Amino acid sequence: MNPRVTLACLAADAARWGTTRLLHRGGGNAPGAVALRVAPGIIGSLGSALDASVMVTGTNGKTTTTGLAADALAASGLNVTCNRAGNNMASGIAAALVEARSARPPRAGCFECDELYTVQVLPALRPRALVLLNLFRDQLDRYGEIDHTQDVIAEALRRSAATALAFNADDPLCAAIADRVDNPGVPFGIDEPTGLEADRISDSRFCARCNTGLDYAYVHYGQLGSYRCPACGWARPELSFAAVNLRLTCGGYEFDIEDRRAGALQRTHVRTRWSGLYMVYNVMAAFVACVLGGGDTSRFQEVLDAYEPASGRGKVFSLDGGFEVSSNLAKNPTGFNRMIQQVRADDGRYLALFLNDNDADGHDVSWIWDIDLERLRDLSDLRLVCVGGTRREDMAVRVKYAELGAPIELIESVEDALGLMPEPERLHVIANYTAFPPVVAELERLCELGTCLNVQTKRDRPGSSTAPGRPATPDPVPLDRPLRIVHLYPDALNLYGDGGNIASLAKRCAWRGIPCRVDQVLMGQELDLTDADVVLLGGGADRDQLAVAEELRGRREKLADYVADGGVLLAICGGYQLLGHSYMMGDERVEGLHILDLETVAGKTRLIGNVAIESSVCATPIVGFENHAGRTLLGPDEHALGRALVTGTGNNGEDGGEGVLHDGVVGTYLHGPILPKNPGVTDWLLARALRRRGCAVELKPLPDELETLAHDVALRIATH
């Protein structure tokens, strides 16, 4: 090592000693941050001493896959360095490399890397392979849209041209990156239909080359499956490694991994102890990483049998008195849906959901409305749903609208949830990123105490309350036909939990006895607004929104006539921009629908954060979350939806206005989604739609305690 690198290692050692011995914390990122400050090239310097290394990235499954791959390489007789704790930024990888130097230096490296840090780490480390697991929306206020993440990873690969890209070919978003770079490609995937876990929402099902909607032979979950573009023929690549003969057993999955690279097919049979399809992908990716890292897979099954997920993930804690708690981490809709599948597989009866909105989680919690909580209605006897975390009120509203038939309780801790269970059973806990470590720490503490848990109901405890579920069954309201709610292109415009807006409209009708029906208009379908009463046009990623813009331009007159006739329309973010004359997608000007007199130009920065506005639409401030680079300017005859209570937010961050209110049209950048936390806005839209129908229906008050709690939390965050 050169003197600067040696000095950096010594400084990192001192930082580790100080954090572990004096502050009694894990070493974490601090030693690596110190080392990088002293020697910015330390990752390349120490990494070059390894005989081989592999790097793992992607939205979900990085820590598990990295741990499995490292164990598989170690089982091959290699001395492996790995950032097992999940410290996956450049500082965490540097810390792992510094700590691993010893009298027996490592021969192999296996590193987890955050997607946005690949462009820093990959060109420095130059591993044999980058294993790309999947790409799902995650922390939109930090990562931005998935297109941005794809750009970062592709650039990282271009700067490390010899690195092979092992990618989940079932994910068109991963395959699109492989299609853009010249690195050697190693596609892997599940090469048969499973028919088990397809999701209501996917992140993108559009062709990477021509932006046409993809056709699927089958879907596993999200956008993962076997796809082909009907226009240009772009399709899932031929698989180098394929999972076949999948069989779900009482203990997990059994399947064969076929290595199809050589002329003679090689097949390895594996058994997992996990019932989720996501673990099939993680296991496959770890297998591929071991092969590409120079390991021997003959002992791979032994590795699977011995592996325990890191940091309490997927662990079952056995507590005194016969209680059990399963702890599960989920930080985005796709991950949460996989955990829900686990609860369904166990036919769970007690559930606790923890939702935080700290920096590491992302401050935008709209994604919880893309969780398929409604699937829990299939449980035979769900008895209790507890919600905790900094945004527990938002999660409580989400659970309320799922109508699971179980009481909802606001809690502070796992012990609170256990205290509400009348008998010893298993509690299924699902927590997002920063909420998860405290859950595990609490469970470890309870295990160490070994004392009987207090099972008195929370209603008997000071300062606690029972959250209501759903309103009582109302008397039906006579209408000549149901109120028709039209959701435009939810298969493409689904970025900000817009399904929550549809749920708010439909449920608040149902809870009042007002008959309604929801019609979805998908890409390529006929647009019929002749008897529409409320229309929703949501926001999407750039590629998906562009496809919608092209389709809607051919149907412009139908939407324009509906608006001119006083039709009620809620347009969110990209949908709001699309109603104007034009908007910007990068440096490209995209023609709008020219229905409203507004123009969206490019801004130098994104406007991101919680927002509150005063509006004539409802008595209380409207709250939500904005995340947009465009700056929208209203024409002289258009009026803003409201006045921003937070300086520098809204349409353009300058004139103080947010959104547009044009007759029956509400256009806004606010998501969250906007309607569940702002029932006054929902009721304004419904009342307007009923008046347009000539219906003298009074909107009866509803028990909105949970909605009010969630609203007030968001208002406090926005204005303090």
Separation between Cα atoms, residue 417 and residue 348, nearest integer Å? 14
Separation between Cα atoms, residue 112 and residue 54, nearest integer Å? 9
Helices (H), 366-408: 392-402
Nearest to 480 by CA among 520, 513, 512, 515: 515
Separation between Cα atoms, residue 59 and residue 406, nearest integer Å? 32
Burial class of residue 705 (count of CB atoms within 10 Å of its CB; 0-12, 13-18, 19+) = middle
Domain residue spans of the chain: 41-307, 312-467, 483-719
- Convert 71-86 into a string of H (helix), E (strand) and C (coil): HHHHHCCCCEEECCCC
Q: Which of 220, 428, 581, 671 is catalytic?
A: 671
Q: What is the pLDDT of residue 470?
A: 57
Residue in this structure with the two tokens 């950032």, named with its chain if needed = 83
Give the contacts of 188 (CB within 8 A, at least 6 positions apart).
166, 167, 168, 169, 239, 240, 241, 242, 243, 284, 285, 288
At position 94, the amino acid (one-letter code) is A
Nearest to 237 by CA among 284, 152, 177: 177
- Convert 88-128 into a string of H (helix), E (strand) and C (coil): CCHHHHHHHHHHHCCCCCCCEEEEECCHHHHHHHHHHHCCC
Q: What is the pLDDT of residue 23?
A: 64
- Any idea which fold 41-307 has? UDP-N-acetylmuramoyl-L-alanine:D-glutamate ligase (3.40.1190)
Is the separation of the CB atoms in 398 and 677 below 8 Å? no
Q: Which of 487, 573, 581, 628 is catalytic?
A: 573
End-to-end alpha carbon distance in the chain: 50
Residue in this structure with the two tokens 């949501």, named with its chain if needed = 538
Chain-centroid distance of CA 112 in Å reads: 19
Q: What is the pLDDT of residue 296?
A: 94
The CATH number of the domain covering residues in 312-467: 3.90.190.20
Q: What is the pLDDT of residue 462?
A: 36
Burial class of residue 1 (count of CB atoms within 10 Å of its CB; 0-12, 13-18, 19+) = middle
Give the contacts of 525 (CB within 8 A, at least 6 positions apart).
none
Give the contacts of 495 (CB within 8 A, at least 6 positions apart).
137, 140, 145, 538, 539, 540, 541, 544, 573, 574
Residue 573 among the catalytic residues: yes
Mean pLDDT by runs of 10 across the 720 residues of the chain is 87 84 68 91 92 94 94 93 86 91 79 95 97 82 73 96 97 96 97 75 77 90 92 96 91 92 88 86 97 95 89 85 92 86 91 94 92 93 97 97 96 96 95 93 88 48 47 81 96 86 96 95 94 95 87 95 98 96 90 97 93 96 95 97 96 97 98 95 97 89 96 96
Separation between Cα atoms, residue 651 and residue 668, nearest integer Å? 8
Q: What is the pLDDT of residue 299?
A: 95
Residue 487 among the catalytic residues: no
Nearest to 443 by CA among 603, 324, 582: 324
Q: For residue 316, list its beta bridge partners.
A: 326
Length of the chain in terms of residues written: 720
- Any idea which fold 483-719 has? Rossmann fold (3.40.50)
